[in-house]
Structure 1
């Protein structure tokens, strides 16, 4: 059977990461959270005391990235998310990380990738595409609860402000802005539990897979 690729895009805290993981388990496919690549670049730059606005330095950090670095729990922090959003505006950084992502997507059997530009740039030919979203206030509450559970001290208001800044930055960048692919299915999880969202995503992908199989 040919490779089956699932692209899961959407803004921060929309639930796309959990949905991608659930889909990978259900369809027995490897999964990549592409946001971790950018978080890792940002963290590497911070540790080296590099200027996050220095595109050349960011490219150098991207070139140093290895797969085993993506398991660092510090990449899941609020600070790492802000660093990622800042380095992701650099077009050359995105180019440097593109091959990593496309190689993952192109592995035998297929894969699940979640991010901001999977269905539009990284895997435009993916057989199933979702754009997962939710109201900013809902996403902020989810992220606040997650960060609090991790032991971070942060207010809901600050997280909501972060969400607004990241949405504007991710959607307004010149290179590969965050937007739904034309053939992506929109999944608004604002009023869904994670179980409901994962089930809805599964049904969307199963329908896409059935169409794909009937055409091959």
Structure 2
């Protein structure tokens, strides 16, 4: 397959990371989870005790932050923060809202934008996030807006948290998802929205295998069966 850029956007908990990772494996692309990058910055700002809604305070510590992505022998993306592997730590439930808060700041987005674009210049990528098709890779060959109902996303998230040994009540998870949806769609900088040329994929009624098949079908159709 020739070098290609596949942008997958959508709300929190829609399964973007899991599905994009699976599709990248099937297609031989590099998977880039941009949400993990923002989680890493949010994790750092939180560890410094900052007011995450204070854009100037968060921007002031960015020169201290070194964010790196590595890929293990298992092919999975690992996040390094100043040399420390924080892959597991950034997946704690409270870090989701931290990521949403810091991602609203123009300084943070500018800080990370070139890092993301550089990966897309050097590799065939499947990149997922909130503004990949609209801001980060507006010329991507394939754009997909992946979504599901808040209730379906909350149920899936609860199962994920149970598997990790950090269960949360369904009502609490649903409330956090709805709060993050509002934050992501109402922020002044690069709000979550479907790109005009993106294909909508709603997985509310689909299981994982069906969702993966639908995603791959869209990609192959848009790339001429690559």
Same fold (TM over 0.5): yes
Equivalent position to 1:105, from 120, 136, 145? 120
Deviation at 1:23, TM superposition (A): 1.4
Equivalent position to 1:91, from 106, 113, 130? 106
Deviation at 1:77, TM superposition (A): 1.5
Please give the secondary structure, in 2, of the residue aligned with 1:181.
Answer: coil
- The answer to whether residue 71 in structure 2 is matched with residue 76 in structure 1 is no
Q: Is the 8 A contact 2:8 2:145 kept in 1?
A: yes
Question: Which residue pairs with 1:6 in the alignment?
Answer: 6
Structure 1 residues 177-203: Cα deviation after superposition (integer angstroms, max 9, x where no partner):
001111110000001011100010000
Q: How many residues align?
A: 211
Output the CA distance in 1 between the equivalents of 2:101 and 2:127. Answer: 21
Question: Which residue pairs with 2:206 in the alignment?
Answer: 192
- The answer to whether residue 163 in structure 2 is matched with residue 149 in structure 1 is yes
Deviation at 1:26, TM superposition (A): 1.1
Deviation at 1:71, TM superposition (A): 5.0
Please give the secondary structure, in 1, of the residue aligned with 2:224.
Answer: helix
Instruction: Note the 1:1-216 alignment, pairs <5 A.
Output: 2-63=2-63, 64-67=65-68, 68-69=80-81, 72-108=87-123, 110-210=124-224
Output the CA distance in 1 between the equivalents of 2:100 and 2:121. Answer: 26
Output the CA distance in 1 between the equivalents of 2:87 and 2:51. Answer: 22
**Cα distance change on mapping 1:11 and 1:136 into 2, 3 Å:** same
Q: Which has the larger helix fraction?
A: 1
Q: Is the 8 A contact 2:20 2:126 kept in 1?
A: yes
Unaligned 5+ runs, structure 2: 69-79
**Cα distance change on mapping 1:60 and 1:25 into 2, 3 Å:** farther
Unaligned 5+ runs, structure 1: none
Q: Is the 8 A contact 2:40 2:86 kept in 1?
A: no
TM-score, length-scaled by structure 1? 0.92
Q: Which has the larger strand fraction?
A: 2
Output the CA distance in 2 between the equivalents of 1:196 and 1:157. Answer: 27
Q: Is the 8 A contact 2:9 2:16 kept in 1?
A: yes
- What is the root-mean-square deviation of aligned Cα atoms in Å? 1.6
Output the CA distance in 2 between the equivalents of 1:72 and 1:15. Answer: 17
**Cα distance change on mapping 1:155 and 1:162 into 2, 3 Å:** same
